[in-house]
Amino acid sequence: MSIPFPTEARVLDDTYSAQIAEAAYYRAEGRGFQGGCPVNDWLAAEREIRQPSVPSSRARRMALVSLQRR
């Protein structure tokens, strides 16, 4: 694993922040910008971006069964 140069790290950080900001915006938009807390939206979006949802074991089994039937 290589260590990114400072400019690469800055670009990655900017991209990461932009993804979080967009996800937080859509969370707020989803509730019509009513209630909620921008900080909580940001933190939830950060968790979402950092750990994208992983299909459940049931979903993986169903996918395997579907592939086996072909």
When pLDDT is cut at 50, 70 and 90, the band that residue 1 belongs to is low
Residue 57: C-alpha distances to residues 54, 60, 61, 63, 66 (Å): 9, 5, 6, 10, 14
> Domain extents for the chain?
6-69
pTM, rounded to two decimals: 0.58
pLDDT tens-digit map of 29-63: 999 999 999 999 999 999 988 886 655 556 666 66
Task: Report the distance separating Cα 31 and Cα 35, nearest Å.
Answer: 8
Residue 5: the pLDDT is 61
When pLDDT is cut at 50, 70 and 90, the band that residue 23 belongs to is very high
| Tokens coding 50 | 């950092």
For the CA atoms of 26, 51, 39, 14, the dihedral, rounded to the nearest 10 degrees, stands at: -80
